[in-house]
């Protein structure tokens, strides 16, 4: 897995062993950032189900600040290793999503990346984000999920939706 663009372009990130973490592929990540590229420089992003941290690190490479969270300790260690490798500093939490969103209440983000386990219906996550007002005005939630499912989002419109094989990505804006 490599960083697509920005100051760390071409650098390879450490990846997990085994199948417990499903990193966003380089192709999907590149397409996502092609769509949102004008939103990233100078922005604040939250990588909520961070896994390897690739989405947040890609944003950092393009000039954003990032906060990372994953409930799996090995993923948190991997994110920290990747940040050390790049000589970058960022907040990294080891909490379940509800605890992380509660802890972040009072802060706001321009972009929130959601790539939860496909078995998790993230509509509850999106509702908590909305209730805690974590998304800035004109902000964007980028939700990666199984292409087999379609979701309805209370309080949000789907600004764009893309499918990449078995993966779908919805770009959500507040109504």
CATH number at 119 reads: 3.40.50.150
Domain span at residue 117?
Answer: 28-174
Residue 38 inside a domain? The answer is yes
pLDDT average, residue stretch 146-156: 88
Q: Quickly state the pLDDT bin for 22 (edges 50, 70, 90).
A: low
pLDDT average, residue stretch 34-43: 96
Q: Quickly state the pLDDT bin for 18 (edges 50, 70, 90).
A: low
Q: Quickly state the pLDDT bin for 21 (edges 50, 70, 90).
A: low
The count of structural domains within the chain is 1
pLDDT digits (tens, 9 = 90+) for 114-128: 999 888 888 899 999
Residue 169 inside a domain? The answer is yes
Residue 7 inside a domain? The answer is no
Residue 88: per-residue pLDDT:
96
Residue 23 inside a domain? The answer is no
Residue 10 inside a domain? The answer is no
Which DSSP string do the residues of 54-121 spell out, in sequence order? HHHHHHHHTT-EEEEE-S-HHHHHHHHHHHHHTT---EEE-S-HHHHHHHTTT--EEEEEE---TTS-
pTM recorded for the entire structure? 0.94
Residue 92 inside a domain? The answer is yes
pLDDT over 70 (residue 142): yes
pLDDT over 60 (residue 105): yes
């Amino acid at each position: 897995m490599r960083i697509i663009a920005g100051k760390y372009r071409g650098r390879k990130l450490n990846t997990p062993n085994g199948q417990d973490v499903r990193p966003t592929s380089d192709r999907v990540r590149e397409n996502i950032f092609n769509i949102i590229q004008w939103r990233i420089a100078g922005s604040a992003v939250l990588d909520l189900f961070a896994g390897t941290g690739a989405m947040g690190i890609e944003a950092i490479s393009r000039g954003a600040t990032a906060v990372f969270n994953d409930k799996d300790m090995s993923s948190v260690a991997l994110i920290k290793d990747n940040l050390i490798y790049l000589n970058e500093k960022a907040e990294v939490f080891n909490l379940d999503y509800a605890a992380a969103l509660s802890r972040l209440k009072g802060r706001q983000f321009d972009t929130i990346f959601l790539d939860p386990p496909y078995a998790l219906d993230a509509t509850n996550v999106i509702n908590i984000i909305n209730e805690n007002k974590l998304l800035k005005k004109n902000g964007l939630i980028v939700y990666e999920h199984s292409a087999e499912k379609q979701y309805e989002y209370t309080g949000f419109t789907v600004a764009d939706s893309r499918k990449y094989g078995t993966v779908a990505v919805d770009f959500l804006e507040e109504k």
